[in-house]
Structure 1
Amino acid sequence: MDLWYIDRYEKKEENQMKRMHFCTGIGLLLIVISAYPIFVLLRENIIDHNVTNRYDIHYAYQDKQGYEPAIDTQNINIFNHHIRIIEAKTGKHAPLTSWDKDENVPAGEIVNIQYQLDGRDLSSPSEVWLSNRERGGRYFSWLEILTVKDRKTDQNLVYIVQRITDDQISLEKSKWKIIRIHQDGTVKEKLLSYSDRSKDPLSVKLLNFSYVGGNSMGYHSDMYEVIPNVIFPLLYPLITVAVGCAIMIGILIIVIVQKIKGVRKSI
């Protein structure tokens, strides 16, 4: 009878260990497959949190009602400086999209844009596709002028952001012109490419804020720029990593409880 009981107990212990090993494997698997997207999510959120907390961003242009729409004027005064947008006709028109054809909208003009700050030229002229719609502003998704308050240094800055690749170029090959104007009139210009965007989080924030990015993009990865749904990122990776961690914590508790019982029996 004692041998039968011992054998039954050992089989029970063996089955329990097998279940624990199986659950451990499932828990580790869920954590491993969720680790990278969770890391990407945390990194994107931390960078965005830091940029948002440091910089106060606004559209420079204000309409008569005091609202801040996309820029729809060629002359604007900011921080005692006058910025002018000069358009030069090229005789070219942007290709029509399927929506343009469906709504019978004429093609928008392509112009060369030259910026001036207090009468002196900024940067070199580059092409912009003017909007062929009444909504959204004349330069919508192509250029914008923004004011930026750096809370850390207490600086007030003006940024001109402009897309220099057209709608026929994929986001991965896109490039932008970033012009920074200080209150003393000092100007700095840089060319930002999609592949190098991680080096300049503020510029990424400005492009997304102003829709000049063309499409919304992440600081390092665009994984979380997709439209959220039940499967991603709710089910995977948020719920999968939560379930994986819950399983591992449960197993850890069981192991600790068993060790405590074993110590008590030995006493």
Structure 2
Amino acid sequence: MKKKLIFFLLGTILLLTSLPLSTKMVMELIHNQKMNREYKVTNVNEGSPPTSSAFRFKGHIVEIKETLKNEDGYVDPWSNKIRMADLSLELDGAKIDTLRDYPIKVEEKGLNRYYGEIAYLLLEDKKSSKTQFIVLLKKTREFKKEMPNGYIVGGAPTEKLKYTLYSLDEEGNLNTKSFSFTERNGLQTKLLNDSFMVPYSIGYYTDAWEVYPSIFFPFIFPFVTLVVGFVLIVVFFPIRKVKK
């Protein structure tokens, strides 16, 4: 009886420790399937050759204008020469947003100058077959530098990362929405990943699927431990026999 109780308690511990994360991971899989079923996201920036920062969408022109500051720049940890600039986002020549004293990669061309800071995306709603043009701006400035000891400093904590999303539909209507790294919906999460404007790949319910897999995680824990815990509870559930 004592051995049976020990196995039951072991199963309970395994189940309780595995259930929260495994539930979120299953929810994340379902969510990703839903996003892929409903939307198609295309990153306009092809990298090479450089994509122009002036983009025409349904007769409208979205463009980034920049004014470089007369000050020395620096080299970031990835060997990009960085200088400060005032950036203006314009729609058909009208200014709709400004990023002041913003770090840009001055030796790059087109949208590559703003990689990781500004993104152009095409968002197709598969159900309605309508497409929106998305401009995603990272409002939080980061000045990343590598120290002599190899540490990278100047990055903002994730809870400080702020974004603004502009969406231009096929009828020419412009909408805007501001959100943060810590407070975002499922579609915003997908857009952040597809635009490479987050420090690492992120999930909506959990980031667990984004880590490098090993035999232990996520195979043994939390899914094998969840099943083993459930089996132990069922098999060794303490049932008191009723005397006749």
Aligned equivalents of 1:23, 1:108: Cα separation in 2: 60
**1:11 equivalent in structure 2:** none
**2:70 equivalent in structure 1:** 91
Aligned equivalents of 1:235, 1:45: Cα separation in 2: 18
- Structure 2: which 5+ residue stretches go unaligned? 143-154
Aligned equivalents of 2:114, 2:160: Cα separation in 1: 21
Aligned equivalents of 1:125, 1:42: Cα separation in 2: 39
**2:233 equivalent in structure 1:** 248
1:211-250 paired onto structure 2 within 5 Å: 211-250=196-235
Aligned equivalents of 1:226, 1:132: Cα separation in 2: 33
**2:149 equivalent in structure 1:** none
Q: Which has the higher helix share?
A: 1
Aligned equivalents of 2:18, 2:139: Cα separation in 1: 37
State which of 178, 189, 192 in structure 2 corresponds to 1:191: 178
**1:144 equivalent in structure 2:** 119
Q: TM-score, normalised by structure 1?
A: 0.73
Aligned identity (percent) is 22
Query: 1:128-172 CA deviation, whole Å, 9 max, x = no partner?
Result: 422367599222111111111112333211110111113321122
Q: Which has the higher strand share?
A: 2
- The CA RMSD measured in Å over matched residues stands at 2.9
The structure whose RCO (Cα within 8 Å, separation 6+) is larger is: 2
Aligned equivalents of 2:163, 2:71: Cα separation in 1: 21
SS at match of 1:218: coil
Aligned equivalents of 1:93, 1:144: Cα separation in 2: 26
| Alpha-carbon offset, residue 211 of structure 1 | 0.2
Aligned equivalents of 1:93, 1:223: Cα separation in 2: 41
Q: TM-score, normalised by structure 2?
A: 0.80
Change (3 A) 1:189 1:126: farther
**1:180 equivalent in structure 2:** 167
- Structure 1: which 5+ residue stretches go unaligned? 1-16, 62-67, 260-267
1:20-59 paired onto structure 2 within 5 Å: 20-59=4-43
**1:164 equivalent in structure 2:** 139
Change (3 A) 1:34 1:182: same
**Do the aligned partners of 2:74 and 2:83 also contact (CA within 8 Å) in 1?**
no
> Does 2:109 correspond to 1:124?
no
